[in-house]
Amino acid sequence: MAVTTEMVKELRARTGAGVMDCRRALEETAGDLDAATGLMRAKGLAAVAKRAGRAASEGVIETYVHAGSRLGAIVELNCETDFVARTDEFRSMAREIAMQVAASAPRFVSKEEVPSELMAGRRAAIAGESPGASDADLDRRVGQWLEEVVLLEQPYIRDAGRRVRELITDAAARVGEHIAVRRFARFKLGE
């Protein structure tokens, strides 16, 4: 099947990738837009994995204040270049993450930030509530607790089938840069 300009435009709209990358993906998949989208996503994820160790020192600080001004959040979202940081897509994602923080009240950005004493204490508390529980059951319940308190492990508020981590990974694959939530704060009137 011949790759048309319209097909390339459609794939670009779906993935945000460059024209030549879209053309190559469409040629590799014989013009199948869905397969080309999957191929572009896989290539993007591979590129993100290579860039994971790179410094993400550019970015934005974004806020979200809920209607009524009684609840708000502020998030620092970083990327590698100011070019990406200035895009509407990046700023929009930062706002979505700020909204996630306001709605879900996480305490930590990632699992690695959870103090080992707190993790051990939580596991002990769960074991005390359920004497005789298996290690697998304890691990499952600790994992459920982590989904509540760790931002990257939480279900995304607009699509519960996705985690916040996946939202960031997908965006990083589209832009070809390492993206990271550096820190956040949540404010609620009276707390």
pLDDT digits over 84-105, tens only?
899 999 999 999 999 999 999 9
Residue 8: how many other CB atoms lie within 10 Å? 20
Which residue carries 């794939």 as its tokens?
A: 11
Least confident of 56-70, 102-116, 123-137: 123-137
Give yes or no for residue 48 having a pLDDT over 60. Answer: no
Q: CA 73, 74, 79, 84 torsion: positive or negative? A: positive
- Same domain? For 130 and 64 the reply is no
The reply to whether 157 and 94 lie within a common domain is yes
Backbone φ and ψ for 58, nearest 5 degrees, come out as -100, 175
The reply to whether 158 and 66 lie within a common domain is yes
How much is the average pLDDT of 106-124? 92
Buried b (16+ CB within 10 A) or exposed e, 84-97: bbeeeebeebbbbb
Same domain, 157 and 144: no
What's the CATH code of the domain at 159? 3.30.479.20
Say what the pLDDT of residue 26 is: 82
Do 127 and 97 lie in a common domain? no
Same domain assignment for residues 105 and 64: yes
Do 41 and 129 lie in a common domain? no
Band (63; pLDDT cuts 50, 70, 90)? very high
Q: Are residues 144 and 160 in the same domain?
A: no
Domain of 21 in residue numbering reads as 5-51
What is the per-residue pLDDT for 103?
Answer: 94
Sorted by sequence, the CB contacts under 8 Å of residue 182 that are 6+ apart come out as 56, 59, 76, 77, 78, 109
Question: pTM of the entire structure?
Answer: 0.70
Q: Are residues 160 and 96 in the same domain?
A: yes
Q: How many structural domains comprise the chain?
A: 3
Residues 101 and 160 in one domain: yes
Regarding whether 161 and 90 lie in a shared domain, the answer is yes
User: Is 58 within 8 Å of 76 (Cβ atoms)?
Assistant: no
